[in-house]
Structure 1
Amino acid sequence: MITMKNIIREGNPILRQRANKVEFPLSPEDKKLAQDMMEFLENSQNEEIAEKYGLRAGVGLAAPQLAVSKRMTAVLVPGTTEEQDPLFKHVLINPTILSESVQMVALGEGEGCLSVDREVPGYVPRHNRIKLRWYDLDGNEHQARLNGYEAIVVQHELDHLNGVLFYDHINKNNPFVIPKDMLILE
């Protein structure tokens, strides 16, 4: 079971490297890693389990955050109510953004990261809509159009695969500047 002690923190050079493409068929180790990453997200979103193991809640976890330089990430965006199915729940292997909107968006409360143990205030501009392609554990290709929060989460995770951390996007001179036409999600 992945816990917070398995997640590397900012300052580790692996977080700043471009991750390597994953080859198919997946090795048993890669399949286990993918399943373990999704299990971490499920556990982190379960208040009882999270408290028991000291897990910070997460909606995404990328292999580089576990010191594995591979283009693989798990995303679990919960539904808006407890009974609702997740809005987006997938392990993404070799994900690629095929297209993105001109319209930008940022979370009003800013972004956080399991690899960053401090608050970094400021807006993180992201594309409001993206078209995503990825492969599942069996090598099947998938595509989805995402917008708003789901698009933000996926872009944050894809940044991890490219050696980018969320605060790299924050305007250094004015962290709360709102570029023209950017939406703020509260």
Structure 2
Amino acid sequence: MLTMKDIVREGHPVLREKAAEVALPASKEDQRTLESLMEYVKNSQNPETASKYGLRPGVGLAAPQIGVSKRMIAVQVYDHNHSLLSYALFNPKIVSHSVEKAYLSSGEGCLSVDRAVPGYVHRYARITVKGTTLEGEAVKLRLKGLPAIVFQHEIDHLNGIMFFDHINPKDPFHIAEDSFPIER
């Protein structure tokens, strides 16, 4: 079981690398890695388990965050209809996106960043993601709102991008044109 000690922190070089594609069908080792990412996310959202093992709650985790430079992410988050979206994906890729942008009004955080970074992170309001599930099934997800933001955050990790790279250093709370806030 992954715990906070397994999560690499800001400054570790793996967080700035472009992760490698996962050869499909996935090896047993890659499947175990992806399963462990999803297990962490689920455990971190369970108050009892999180408290017992000292897990910081998270809605997503990418393989580079545990020192594995491969294109794998796990996301578990509720959408605007209060439906649970739970996906563990190999080689996720954004294939289309809106012009309109959105940002979390409370800002973003990251399990690999042990400090608060104030500012708005502008991301696409709507995206379409393609990827492959643990079972080897190709999926195409149309996402908006919070799930779209979470998927972009995790896919950024696969490209060596941290959330704070998107914050305007001169004006962290600048609101971009054609963008709207999302409450969390």
Q: Which band: TM-score by shorter chain?
A: over 0.9
Q: Which runs of 5+ in 2 are unaligned?
A: none
For structure 1, which runs of at least 5 residues remain unmatched after alignment? none
Give the drift of 1:139: 2.6
- Equivalence for 2:30: 30
Match of 2:151 among 149, 154, 159: 154
Given that 2:80 and 2:145 are in contact with CA atoms closer than 8 Å, whether structure 1 keeps it comes out as no
C-alpha separation between the residues in 2 aligned to 1:79 and 1:185?
A: 11
Q: Does the 8 Å CA contact 1:26/1:138 hold for their aligned counterparts? A: no
Residue 85 of structure 1: CA displacement?
5.0
Percent identical pairs in the alignment equals: 53
Map 1:74-89 → 2, pairs under 5 A: 74-78=74-78, 86=84, 88-89=85-86
Q: Distance in 1 between matches of 2:130 and 2:24?
A: 16
Note if contact 2:156-2:162 (Cα within 8 Å) is conserved in structure 1.
yes
| TM-score where L is the length of structure 2 | 0.96
Q: Which residue of 2 aligns with 1:48?
A: 48
Question: Are 1:144 and 2:155 an aligned pair?
Answer: no
Determine the structure 1 residue equivalent to 2:66. 66
Amino acid at match of 1:105: A
The 1-side partners of 2:70 and 2:145 are apart by 26
* Distance in 2 of aligned mates of 1:50 and 1:158: 24
Deviations 1:22-56 (CA, angstroms, capped at 9, x unpaired): 00121111111111111111110000110111000
How far does residue 122 in structure 1 lie from its aligned partner after superposition? Answer: 0.1
2:132 paired residue number: 135
Q: CA shift at 1:140, angstroms?
A: 2.1
TM-score by length of 1: 0.95
**Count of aligned residue pairs for this structure pair:** 183
Q: What root-mean-square deviation, in Å, do the aligned CA atoms of Structure 1 and Structure 2 show?
A: 1.4
